[in-house]
Structure 1
Amino acid sequence: MNRPLRNAFGLASLLALAACGSSGPPAPPKEAAIAAFATVQQVFQHPRCQNCHIPGDAPLQFDNGLPHEMGVARGPTGHGAQGLPCSTCHGEKNAPASYGPHAPPGAPHWALPPPEHKMVTIGLSAPALCEMIKNKSENGGRDFAALLKHVSEDKLVLWGWEPGGNRVAVPVPHADFVAKFKLWSDAGGPCPAT
Structure 2
Amino acid sequence: MRKLLPIVLALPLAACGPSAEERAAGVAAFATVQQVFQHPRCQNCHIEGDAPLQFDAGLLHAQNVARGPEGKGAPGLPCSACHGETNPPASYGPHAPPGAPHWQLPPPDMKMAWIGLPPAELCAMVKDEARNGGRDFAALTKHVSEDALVLWGWNPGGERAPVPVPHAEFIAAFTTWANAGGPCPEG
Distance 1:180 1:133 in 2: 14
Distance 1:116 1:82 in 2: 17
Aligned residue type for 2:12: G
Give the one of 56, 77, 86 matched to 1:84.
77
Distance 2:25 2:56 in 1: 30
> How big is the shift at 1:121?
1.2
Pair 1:21-2:9 in alignment: no
Give the one of 79, 86, 97 matched to 1:104.
97
> How big is the shift at 1:23?
6.0
Aligned residue type for 1:35: A
Aligned partner of 2:65 in structure 1 is 72
Aligned partner of 1:156 in structure 2 is 149
Aligned partner of 1:34 in structure 2 is 27
Aligned residue type for 1:58: A
Aligned partner of 1:131 in structure 2 is 124
1:35-74 alignment runs, 5 A limit? 35-74=28-67
Query: Secondary structure of 1:151's partner?
Result: helix
Show structure 1 runs of 5+ residues with no match. 1-18
* Runs of 4+ in structure 1 over 3 Å off: none
Deviation string 1:7-64 (CA, Å, 9 cap, x unpaired) is xxxxxxxxxxxx753669x846111110000000000000000000000000000001
Distance 1:141 1:29 in 2: 25
Distance 1:166 1:85 in 2: 24
Give the one of 119, 122, 126 matched to 2:115.
122
Aligned partner of 1:190 in structure 2 is 183
Aligned residue type for 1:126: P
Aligned residue type for 2:162: A
Aligned residues: 175
Pair 1:177-2:170 in alignment: yes
**TM-score scaled by structure 2?**
0.90
Distance 1:20 1:137 in 2: 30
CA RMSD of aligned residues (A): 1.4
Distance 2:124 2:12 in 1: 30
Query: Secondary structure of 1:69's partner?
Result: coil
Distance 1:157 1:121 in 2: 15
Query: Secondary structure of 1:130's partner?
Result: helix
Deviation string 1:85-112 (CA, Å, 9 cap, x unpaired) is 0000000000100000000000000000
Distance 1:20 1:117 in 2: 38
> How big is the shift at 1:191?
0.4
